[in-house]
Amino acid sequence: MSETDEVLLSVRNLYVEFSTDDGLVSAVNDLSYDLKRGKTLAIVGESGSGKSVSSMALMGLVAGMNAKVSGEVYFDGQQLVGADPESVRKLRGDRMAMIFQDPLSSLHPFFRIGDQLVEAVQVHHDIDKKQAQVRVKAMLERVGIPDVDQRMNEYPHQLSGGMRQRVMIGMSLINNPELLIADEPTTALDVTVQAQILELLKDLQKEFGTAIILITHDLGVVADMADEVVVMYGGSAVEHAPVREIFYEPAMPYTWGLIASIPQISAKHAHLDPIPGNPPSLINLPSGCVFAPRCTFKHLVSDGLCENERPQLLPVSPEHTSRCHLTQNQRTDIRRERLIGRQK
């Protein structure tokens, strides 16, 4: 790839709202990021943080769900929000593709594996079935399916979870997309199979120069795969930084809590430091900082600012932004005191 530094996807002030019987659900609030070709951006968050919805919205997959999408999404210069659905449909599966968490429910149970992939090729390319089959076969071999000729004639239920996820990856990459959105691609898999799939994704990314948006809640997977990380909470990006800075110099209390609450395979018996309380309801978001109700540091900020005023996403270093009212010095002190991140 000669154009590695070129921005492929640019998301600006994205909002996604759903109107439901209980009220307006603000699933994504003012999300912005850039993704360069061939790079991996991880979006991390718990359930209900808006991480999946934000990516589905930019693929035009929330239409018909009473959703209101606003903001700007530029894919290779083309604005996708409000664009003609037909033109977005043409991009989908061709120049941008998606892998879902559950490969069993994302493959059609009635059709043979081979036919499903052939269809994916033929929808976007004017080639005959024979040629498409050759291409499908090569791709399935590439993603590590054994006995491809036989497997192409089988149905999804005849394959194991790992195999199905390989088929999904093969299907999403068959048209050599420039952008791949992987929504919890390994969450349903066992660790040894997860290791295989992550390795495969990395190899394919190198080979095809695909940019990846990796949606996950597993910080281990993030540490392995990501170049950049966006941490989402209650529909907003609360921190955005290169991967090493997220782990070694995390800048705000939610990220601290997230890191402190994972039991580590490399750590000894210690009491975990969980985040108190529960994630917020997206119907009545707090008017101040979305994390304030669970934040254990808000007493350090005067005038109840945390409860009343939504903090801006502000830079803490050149490539690192976070949403928090704590001062730089306060954060440095807390990190040192609580042994958060890497100590200098």
Partner 1 sequence: MTQDSPILKVSNLVKHFPITSGGIFQRTTGAVKAVDGISLEVFPGETLGLVGESGCGKSTAGRTILRLLEPTSGSIEFEGQNLIKVSKRELVFMRREMQMIFQDPYSSLNPRATVGDIISAPFQVQGVKPVGGLRSAVGDLMERVGLNPEHFNRYPNEFSGGQRQRIGIARAIALQPKLIVCDEPVSALDVSIQAQILNLLADIQNDFGIAYVFVAHDLSVVRHISDRVAVMYLGQIMESAPSELLYTEPLHPYTHALLSAIPIPDPDLERNRERIILSGDLPSPSNPPAGCVFNTRCWKAEDKCRSERPVLREISMGHQVACHFPEQNLLETISIAPTGTDFIA
Q: At what angle do helices 129-142 and 113-124 cross, to 10 degrees?
A: 120
Q: Which of 116, 194, 205, 321 binds partner 1 (CB under 8 A)?
A: 194
CB of 128 to partner 1, least distance (A): 34
**CB 258, CB 218: distance < 8 Å:** no
Q: Which residues from 8-67 bind partner 1, rule CB under 8 A?
A: 46-47
C-alpha neighbours within 13 Å on the C-beta side of residue 184: 16
DSSP state of 294: G
Residue 67, φ and ψ in degrees, nearest 5: -95, 145
Q: Which is nearer to partner 1, 2 or 266 (CB)?
A: 266
Give the x/- contact pattern for partner 1 in 229-258, rule: CB under 8 A.
--------------xx--xx--------xx
How far is it, in rounded angstroms, from Cα 321 to Cα 342? 18
Give the x/- contact pattern for partner 1 in 92-131, rule: CB under 8 A.
----------------------------------------
147 near partner 1, rule: CB under 8 A: no
Q: Which of 64, 77, 276, 318 binds partner 1 (CB under 8 A)?
A: 276
Q: Which of 97, 8, 39, 96 is nearest to 225 (CA)?
A: 39
274 conformational bin, left if phi > 0, alpha if psi -120 to 50, beta if neither? beta
Which stretch, 111-119, 220-228, 304-312, 323-331, contacts partner 1 (CB under 8 A)? 220-228
CB of 294 to partner 1, least distance (A): 8
Q: Which is nearer to partner 1, 127 or 223 (CB)?
A: 223
268 near partner 1, rule: CB under 8 A: yes
How far is it, in rounded angstroms, from Cα 116 to Cα 100? 16
CB of 214 to partner 1, least distance (A): 12
